A and B are shown apart, each in its own frame.
Chain A
């Protein structure tokens, strides 16, 4: 099975690889794994407390090319978005952008899970209730 050019590009030149200070209140960390393939993905965000905009996003993924590309793309997409906007990213968007074949769809699911986990962690740290935050933006 051949990887799409976009996957190869992200794999060879992954964007935003790295670590953010886990102990900072502005940082949310999501650590997720796919048991079947043994992949593990960490995605971190630094959120501006005033604007709720994700100003920095970093990832580190141990896994296949598709998992690395999915998380690399995810960090690119969430940077500059507000927390609530970032939650709107669906794994299917990643599948489309990277032309992932059906057997690699779970890699995109993992990336979506990682975004949610990172945002969930940030919300927990900052005492933002999941539903309250959604209600805020709905106003």
Chain B
């Protein structure tokens, strides 16, 4: 993955005119180009930001999808046919990543060097844990709720219905949902800070977002389990 700023112009294979390396079609002769090396944003001609115009994204996605349709390359050269498939795959990945707010955030932060994902799991580059990334205030509650979920599942198996447990879980579900909503609101605030800022401000926002994404993962896993248990 490369950041768009580092993109160097490449020459079109057909007309030899130099163009931005992330275009799927040559702006000069309109011929299809091989899958570009740039980031997902540049595929759509978007500035790499966290708040994006989803209508523009969707419009570009459909426009490019139509242009890449295999039928349009029925009489094209063999390599153009191959590129149309490869470009379509890239376009789909790019669209799926950018349209989802969380995937988009993770993607852009990773482009800027953030360590996110299970392979990092709260550890720094040497496999050591960064304690500031473990939401300690949540641990106790997370653990207790997991215990209640397990208890309820066990009770269900024996056919017993524990009304009190059930109402506890329903209450917990609502509480965790509101915590999740708060995290999402905070994320949006950080988006704006990151988009507007540069250098240090971006670094601060990035750190805040990594922590928020961690917290969010906890909460959404829990909510999924509570919902499953209650719905069972």
Contacts and interface: CB of A to CB of B under 8 A. Distances in A.
9 contacts: A31-B139, A32-B139, A35-B133, A35-B217, A35-B218, A36-B122, A37-B217, A42-B143, A106-B118
Interface string B132-148: 01110011101100110
B215 A35 contact: yes
A36 B217 contact: yes
A20 interface: no
Nearest to B142: A40
Contacts, number: 68
Contacts of A110: 121
A32 to B, nearest CB: 7
Contact of B143 (A31, A35, A37, A106): A31
Nearest to B214: A35
Main SS of chain A's interface residues? mixed
Interface of B: 116-123, 127-129, 133-135, 138-140, 142-143, 146-147, 150, 214-215, 217-218, 221-222
Interface in A22-44: 31-38, 40, 42
A96 to B, nearest CB: 14
A113 B128 CA distance: 10
Given A31-B143, A33-B135, A33-B139, A106 B221 contact: no
Given A109-B127, A109-B129, A36 B139 contact: no
A8 interface: no
Contact of B218 (A31, A38, A91): A38
A116 B33 CA distance: 56
Given A36-B214, A40-B143, A109 B123 contact: yes
Given A40-B146, A62-B146, A33 B218 contact: yes
Give chain A's interface residue range (CB within 8 Å of chain B).
Answer: 20 to 34
A103 interface: yes
A102 interface: yes
B1 to A, nearest CB: 19
Contacts of B128: 109
A123 to B, nearest CB: 17
Given A31-B143, A40-B142, A103 B218 contact: no
A105 interface: yes
B118 A62 contact: no
Contacts of B119: 102-103, 106
Contact of A38 (B116, B117, B217): B217
